[in-house]
């Protein structure tokens, strides 16, 4: 098991995993996400060209089995913060420590950048993820709520 930063040559693997991850998220959230391969390609190369975004891969026997996307947020108030935008592990590799290793590596990178807080969001019905995050020391700080509305045609 290894964790490494993404390289340009990883795009095809990333696209497959990202589509799987978005499909899983759609099922968990109960809403369909419309993301095109073109948008995934733009996202991938935008992450690689900035020093404020990170894409880490979990590797098993030279195969990419998961990823973590994280960002350094603009400084506000007294803390420099980072945000874990997305974390995905292929179903057959879950509960083997890959997610924990990805998160620990990201947190280590952020410590080295002087970041003092790492945040993330998680669906309330994603019990395995919540359990992992608590195990890693994350605490619930607020609730985010939403309401679906129907807009009137103009």
Inform me whether the pLDDT recorded for 153 exceeds 90: no
Residue 53 CB coordination number (10 Å): 16
Looking at residue 130, its pLDDT comes to: 92
Question: How many CB atoms are closer than 10 A to CB 54?
Answer: 23
Average pLDDT over residues 48-58: 94
Which comes out higher in pLDDT, residue 33 or 78?
33
> Which tens digits make up the pLDDT trace of 17-47?
998 888 888 777 777 777 888 999 999 999 9
b/e per residue 66-88 (b: at least 16 CB within 10 A)? bbbbbebeeeeeeebbbbbbbbb
Inform me whether the pLDDT recorded for 144 exceeds 80: yes
Mean pLDDT, residues 51-62: 94
Could you tell me the domains of the chain?
2-135 (3.40.630.30)
Return the closest-CA partner of residue 55 out of 85, 12, 80: 85
Token pair belonging to 141: 């700080």
Q: What pLDDT was estimated at residue 106?
A: 97
| pLDDT at residue 152, as a whole number | 75
Over the stretch 2-15, which tens digit does the pLDDT of each residue have?
Answer: 999 999 999 999 99
Contacts of 120 (CB under 8 A, 6+ apart): 83, 84, 87, 133, 138
**Is the pLDDT confidence value at 96 over 70?**
yes
**60 has which bridge partners?**
63
């Amino acid at each position: 098991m290894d964790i490494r930063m993404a390289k340009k040559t990883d795009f095809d693997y990333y696209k497959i995993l990202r589509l799987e991850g978005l499909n899983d998220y759609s099922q968990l959230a109960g809403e369909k996400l419309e993301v095109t391969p073109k948008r995934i390609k733009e996202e991938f190369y935008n992450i690689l060209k900035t020093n404020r975004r990170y894409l880490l891969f979990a590797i098993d026997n030279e195969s990419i089995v998961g990823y973590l996307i994280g960002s350094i947020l603009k400084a506000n108030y007294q803390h420099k913060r980072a945000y874990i935008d997305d974390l995905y592990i292929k179903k057959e590799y879950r509960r083997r420590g890959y997610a924990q290793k990805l998160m620990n590596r990201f947190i280590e990178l952020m410590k080295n950048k002087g970041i003092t807080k790492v945040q993330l969001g998680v669906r309330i019905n994603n019990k395995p993820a919540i359990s992992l995050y608590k195990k890693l020391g994350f605490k619930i700080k607020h609730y985010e709520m939403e309401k679906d509305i129907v807009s009137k045609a103009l």
